A and B are shown apart, each in its own frame.
Chain A
């Protein structure tokens, strides 16, 4: 890795953060993992690979809504970013089929929209 200088830091920070792209983030802090986030993360990663989808599956920390873990935030171009809660394999599958492929939000699983 290259050593950072004040100039290079400045340059990176001017690039847009959170570029509009297709991604799925799984909350992987202790609370998420305790609720089964590991399985959800693996499932989503495998499905994305298997179906050759243009989506990046990423890990992130806890958003704070620990009661609804595992939390999965989904951002797909053309749809509002939303966070799904209490996600299990079944819901994760719906996220892939309905949200990512079908381009519509999944009913009854959204815990708070990201604003």
Chain B
């Protein structure tokens, strides 16, 4: 296995609850207090009703595989010894889509819409990466 650390993002004000949640092994999403629409913590305003009233809610961690790719280009030093590698977009049960990686499934077994469940990988003392593994039901 590789020893180069993954480039884990620094939290900003809008994403801090997400990354802190990941440390607790919880998938946290934003939900609009006005209309109830879920969104990834990215922007302060709800695109559906334009409200800025939001709350942080623990999501189910359930999702399905929306799409995936296999990166063969070496574009970042942290990935030099990982290439080629798989990356994925997962559609969460609550609606939002998140970029991640599927683990525990062979590459030729990956199928779009396959059920997935969030898994939490403590890559360092202060950072946890959210990946997705197979889900039975």
- Do A and B pair up? The answer is no
